[in-house]
Amino acid sequence: MGLEFPVGPMKATLGRLPADDDAWAYEVKWDGYRTIVHVDGGTVRVQSVSGRDVTDEYGELAGLADAVHADRAVLDGELVVLDDDGMPRFELMQRHAREVVFQAFDVLHLGGHDTIELPYEDRRRLLEQAVEPGANWTVPAHRIGGGQELFDATESQGLEGIMAKRLGSTYQPCKRSPNWRKIKHRRKVDVVIGGFTEGGGNRSSTFGALLVGRWDGDRLVFAGGVGTGFDQTTLAAMTPRLRDLEQTACPFDPLPPVSYRRGAHWIEPVLTATIEITEFTNDGHVRHATFLELT
C-alpha cells in the first residue's frame, strides 16, 4: 500500500468562519476519536491518531472492506458513538458503550494511487464514489459555502461545531494546516471539583486551578484542570470553602496523570461547577475551560 501514517493525520487550526465563504467547504465536526482506516484486500486495519493499531477494539468495522470499491484504500475520519437520538456522545465513545460509526471525511489512497496531492474537492468526490454507507460507517455530507448557516444549525442541534476546508487544498499528513479550520461552539458542562492546585503570583493566597471530574457510575473520572474565569472576589470566596473540604485521599479513579498530582490538594467531591469548554479531548479532559459558577 502506498501510504502509512505512523505519526498522525493532517490537523486543523482553531479559528473563525472564513471571510471568503465561497472558497471553503464545510463539514460537521464530530465528537469522537480521530482515526485512520486502512483497507487492504479483504482486511481492515484501524489506526489511532497516535499510530497505535486498535483494530481489535473495533471489530464492527471489519465489514468496511466489502463496502469500499477498491482493493486498497486509506481513509481518514472520526469514530463516534451515537445515542438513541442519533447524536454523537463522547462519553459513550470513551466507554465504547455501543457500536461505533466511522465518519469517513477524506481519502488518502485509493486503488493503488496516493490521493493526498489532489485538491480537496476531488478527494471528496472520490471518497463519495468509493464508500458505500453501512450501519457502522458513512460519508457525512459537506457543502460549498454557507458556513454561517451550517454553524448555526449545528449549534441548535447541540453539536460540537464545524470544519472549514479550503477548496483546492491538498492533504498534508502529520501537519497542522490553516487550510483546515475547526470552528467550535463553546459548551457549558457541569463538573465535580475533586481538588485544587496552589496559586502563584497574585493568586499566592488563593488557588491556581480547580481539578475536576465527571461521575461514571460511582467513580469520579478525572477531567482536567480549570484555571481561568475567576475574579478576585470569586477566588476569595471559594478558597476557604475548598480548604474546609480538604482530605488526604485522591477522589479520582483512576488517579490523574502525575503532572496534575504534583502539589495537588484533594477535597471531598461535593462541589459542582459549571464551566465553559470548547471540547473534551480524547483523554476525556476539558479543553480551553473557563469557570462560570458553582452550582
The residue annotated as part of the active site, out of 11, 29, 175, 182, is 29
Residue 38 to residue 166: CA distance in whole angstroms: 25
Residue 248 to residue 258: CA distance in whole angstroms: 16
Contact call for residues 21 and 155 (beta carbons, < 8 A): no
Contact call for residues 139 and 105 (beta carbons, < 8 A): yes
29 part of the active site: yes
Cell numbers at 65, concatenated = 472492506
Contact call for residues 108 and 3 (beta carbons, < 8 A): yes
Q: Which amino acid does the sequence have at 137?
A: W
Contact call for residues 220 and 214 (beta carbons, < 8 A): yes
Cell numbers at 55, concatenated = 483494530
Residue 133 to residue 275: CA distance in whole angstroms: 37
Strands 33-40 and 43-48 come out as antiparallel
**Catalytic sites, residue numbers:** 29
